[in-house]
Structure 1
Amino acid sequence: MESIQLSERLLMIAQNIPVGKRVADIGSDHALLPSYLILNEISPFVIAGEVNEGPYQAAKRQIESLGLEDKVSVRKGNGLQVIEPNEVQVVTIAGMGGSLISQILEQGKEKIDQLERFILQPNVGVDQVRRWLDQHNWDLIAEEILEEGEKIYEIIVAEKRRGMEDPVYRSEKWSKDELYRLGPILVKKQSEVLIKKWMIELTKVEYILEQIKNSKNEQEKSIKEMQLNHEQKWLKGVIQCLQKDKPLFS
């Protein structure tokens, strides 16, 4: 039997897909994840969706080379448009910005009632994805963070809401807006990768603060400095909490 080697990031996504569920992988690129799911008997049927011609053709070649045309349907279309009613239970979207993922979910709202689970991996803007899910009655059931190839990735797993609110956002330490940024499940794990992510963000803010000292527009400089100083203080508090589990500064 052919085998597919996935990156650690894609493998972690695959591990969050329940066995036996039909899946749509949106933005499938070379259809590596769909191929893996079929070859490892995780899913009986997968849709590989692509909006761009190049990746669409690459996905078709991949599936044809493995002889999986009867189990993987490669489709060209925008976002969730490639899904027909009741075709799949799980949707994966990986490697896009959080704004684009949220847009795909918003534009495909009429398709999501049929779904049981989202597995989402935004490259940036992960807070936008958490906010969209929370506001549209999807509960976070798992969050993962990993470092691969000098990049840090977060993976969000969500299922349809069962109660009035998502219980993971109940916190005496963090506001909901903060948890959209931090990840309500991730902050409880306090992993070294999570701490590293926020230390990198702090370094970026401190670099920008240093650069704007040369700005000639004093009014703009003052406003920007105030915003960045606030962000710097917040980031330092986050890192302190994650490292020592101390209450956030007031």
Structure 2
Amino acid sequence: MVLKGRIKFIANMIPECTILSDIGTDHAYIPIYSVKNQICKKAIACDIGEGPVAVANRNIKRHGMEDRVVTRIGSGFKPISEEELDVCVIAGMGGILITEILQEDINKAKKANKLILQPMNCIELVREWLYLNGFEITDEGLINEGFRIYNVIVAQWTGKIAKKELVYYYIGEKLIEKKDPLLKKYINRRIDLMDRVLKQMSAMKDQDSSLISDQRNIRNEISALLERINK
């Protein structure tokens, strides 16, 4: 199986493990790829919908992986037993939904050896949730696919609660530490997006001056961070 773009990038950030659980698997591409490439010994492909699970089962059969990749229907961590918790992928969902899944079964999230998270939006909410609930972000990466740049986070529970400067919820510290090649491009896009949002907010008749001020402060902090990186 050949993966491309965002999906391949996510798979390549998965550490070697015994059991990989893919929550919201859709087509089961990541579980199949991970088993075939000896990233994991066994994989569990979970999804809340019968349709995606049926598609996953067809793909698993086509690749002859029935004995090593299993599918389960259920929400979040619920289809996964505590004994099976090893590396868990939650990708391709909104950031708010990802935090809800983590919060709903936080004890299982804590017991996972690694969480691989790829939110489609609201990355700042995911980072904040992780830090405030005792998770450490051990790695991050950026991948450009089409017109978008996506964040992938690797995290694990340590029990150490951290409160970061606001700017580091928006721009991951690991991205800065490793000097991710897409970091400057990503920051510039975030600034451009915030400028457009601020312009729209300022043009509204019923303005929330406090919210506009908060957004402008965050935008300026991100801009200042970019200046420090460029030095």
Measure how far apart 1:226 and its partner are: 3.6
Contiguous gaps of at least 5 residues in structure 2:
none
Measure how far apart 1:64 and its partner are: 1.6
Whole-Å separation in 2 of the counterparts to 1:111 and 1:223:
38
Whole-Å separation in 2 of the counterparts to 1:27 and 1:94:
7
User: Paired residue for 1:88?
Assistant: 85
Q: What RMSD over aligned residues (CA atoms) do the two structures have, in Å?
A: 2.3
Measure how far apart 1:16 and its partner are: 2.8
Partner-residue secondary structure (3-state), 1:25: strand
Partner-residue secondary structure (3-state), 2:84: coil
Whole-Å separation in 2 of the counterparts to 1:37 and 1:183:
26
Higher strand fraction (1 or 2): 2
Measure how far apart 1:114 and its partner are: 3.4
Whole-Å separation in 2 of the counterparts to 1:216 and 1:106:
37
User: Paired residue for 1:11?
Assistant: 8
The 5 Å alignment of 1:162-201 reads 164=160, 175-201=164-190
Whole-Å separation in 2 of the counterparts to 1:26 and 1:72:
13
Identity %: 32
Label 1:39 to 1:214 Cα distance change in 2 as closer, same or farther (>3 A).
closer
Whole-Å separation in 1 of the counterparts to 2:198 and 2:15:
46
Measure how far apart 1:5 and its partner are: 1.1
Label 1:233 to 1:112 Cα distance change in 2 as closer, same or farther (>3 A).
closer
User: Paired residue for 1:241?
Assistant: 228
Contiguous gaps of at least 5 residues in structure 1:
170-174, 245-250
Whole-Å separation in 2 of the counterparts to 1:176 and 1:211:
26
2:103 corresponds to 1:106: yes
Label 1:221 to 1:126 Cα distance change in 2 as closer, same or farther (>3 A).
closer
Q: Partner letter of residue 134 of structure 2?
A: N
* 1:86–1:114 contact (8 Å) kept in structure 2: no
Measure how far apart 1:133 and its partner are: 1.9
User: Paired residue for 1:248?
Assistant: none
2:142 corresponds to 1:153: no
Measure how far apart 1:10 and its partner are: 2.4
User: Paired residue for 1:120?
Assistant: 117
Q: From the CA coordinates, give the structure whose radius of gyration is larger.
A: 1
Q: Partner letter of residue 234 of structure 1?
A: E
How many pairs does the alignment contain? 231
Q: Deviations over 1:37-95 (max 9, x none)?
A: 11112211100001122211111111122221111111111010110121131101111
